[in-house]
Amino acid sequence: MPQPTCLQLKVQLAEIQSLFREFALALGKVRETRQTESLLKLQKEMEEKIESMRENFFVTWEKAQKIMEKNGKEFFLGPPDIEAAFGFKLEAKDIPKIPFSQEEIERHQELGDMLVLNLDKTPEGIPLTIEEMTEKAIKTIGSNVIERDKDDEPTKYLLYKNQFDEQGKLKDEAWFSAQAEIKKQTPRLGWQFVSPDILPDSTDKNYLAQTELLIENARIKFFNGTLSLEYQQAETQFQQEKDKVQQLIQNKNYIEASKILSNLKISKLLREPIQNTLFRYLVSYKKGQQLFTDGKYSWSDSTSTGGSLLIFGSADAEGALVNGHRLGNYDGRLGVVSSRF
């Protein structure tokens, strides 16, 4: 859908202002005559004009949901899915506006991406930390055990059985249970495009090589060959820091290297935080789709205190897990999803 010109927007605004003046005059007459029919008609017309103008700037989530339908499958995680997954009710004020145009949504739909709403807290203001998310989600699911044998013995878990108990509570023996920084983080708030699975050819690459792949993927698929200015600046920053990071990795200074990489603008633009990956995993399962069942992991921009950057995935019989991976190393199961906020 073509975007409106400045002149068209100016005309729409003038129409609304004219209707508002008419409404004010009609309101004065109603107070004298008590006849409200004309007033209500003007009010309805003004509301319709305002809504029409608003849609030039924002796509509603309901409309985005319809766009993201593909071959009978809906690549969309929105307010109803989040309510079902975590057991709370969202009001309009709890739902951020979608920052993408209809054209961008249609493009990502063609790419096979998901459009996901991420929340960082409950409607009551409780932060959606890893522990809060998993306990709420498992409560709506019923148990972290999602399959049992004929003797009622667990045969499959949703979340890694050595990290989360049957109620979704983080176990003391989980390796990150003592890492306050990981435990206090929440998903990045807002709407996000993300590939449901890791990008092809993103495994067997270290973090730097994966980042280069993400940039090229964005250049070709998001922007038709030419990055937007914000992404160009982020790529320049990455290129400026790359040699320094490589040297830090060679010197085994992983903490400093991971700190630089996690804070790079390009990481914030194209990497999915670990909390968002877990959020998406839980909401998707409640909707009827389990992610990462191919045994692969996605490498995030979230750090551990030991200098690793966190990974999530491998949803096998023992459940999907949170882990860390040392910079500079690569693995045939470790790839990266494409993310765009």
Q: In the predicted model, is pLDDT for residue 18 greater than 70?
A: yes
pLDDT band at 185 (very low <50, low <70, confident <90, very high): very high
Quickly count: other Cβ atoms within 10 Å of residue 332's Cβ: 9
Helix (H, G, I), strand (E, B) or coil at 327: coil
Share of the chain above pLDDT 70, in %: 89
Q: Rounded CA gap, 224 and 217, in Å?
A: 10
Q: Rounded CA gap, 178 and 73, in Å?
A: 40
What pLDDT score was predicted for residue 179?
Answer: 94
More confident call, 255 vs 18: 255
- The identity of residue 286, as a single letter, is K
Q: Mean pLDDT across the stretch 59-69? A: 94
Q: Where are the domains of the chain?
A: 6-57, 62-340
What pLDDT score was predicted for residue 28?
Answer: 66
The residue whose two tokens read 């004020």 is 93
